[in-house]
Amino acid sequence: MTKLSVNINKIATLRNSRGGNVPNLLSVALDCERFGAQGITVHPRPDERHIRYQDVYDLKAEIATEFNIEGNCQEQKFIDLVLANKPTQVTLVPDALGQITSNHGWDTITNKRYLQETVKRFKDQGIRVSIFVDPDEQMIEAAAETGTDRVELYTESYATNYTTDAQKAIEPYVKAAQKAQQVGLGLNAGHDLDLNNLSYFSKHIPGLLEVSIGHALIADALYLGLPETIEHYLAALRS
């Protein structure tokens, strides 16, 4: 079954909006595990507007499931943070400084040499590496040449177009997934996946190992509660 990794950035955003430690980020992460999530994802940014660097150390010491740290590997501080904590997985995202949210994947052709060096640096420390990519077969083929273990498909365009034409929206992702299998890459996915579109996506994408979901899941939890929300997302992945 595809694993659900809960991105807890929005919990950190809520905490930071008032100062103090409410809600308690670590408690929420542990509860997500207790309610059935198979992983915890964080995406620290240089301005620490949501996840703080200290949060990463605190989470690494306590969580028992897979720990995924996403971020801009062109920031030395991010590289140092990952190497110091040795998470299960690092996901390399080409964010710009001040970017509100991730909005594109790597050009793995143009940046192949850089990514090869960066991937090796993390893999030498026993960290599984995933590269954030658009559903482009050429980018996935080039990603395989970097030595990465996995790619994470950027799913915004799927989510945007799903309601008007689900079959058309999923087509490039099916092709991307097939290419990932052909070149020996594991496959993750994330961005704007929610309870409306997740089941269809997971049914049609071969070899999908993990989805990382934060914003929609936390928003749903405001109405459904966190335990029930996580169960709904797990059910969508099982259906």
Active site residues: 43, 70, 191
Helix (H) or strand (E) holding 132: strand 128-133
Please give the C-alpha separations between residue 140 and each of 33, 147, 152, in angstroms, as whole numbers.
31, 12, 10
Are 25 and 14 in contact by the 8 Å Cβ rule? The answer is: no
CA separation for the pair 54, 72 (Å, rounded): 17
Angle between helices 112-123 and 76-85 (to 10 degrees): 30
Sign of the Cα torsion 218, 219, 225, 228 reads: negative
Q: How many residues does the chain have?
A: 239
Are 168 and 132 in contact by the 8 Å Cβ rule? The answer is: no
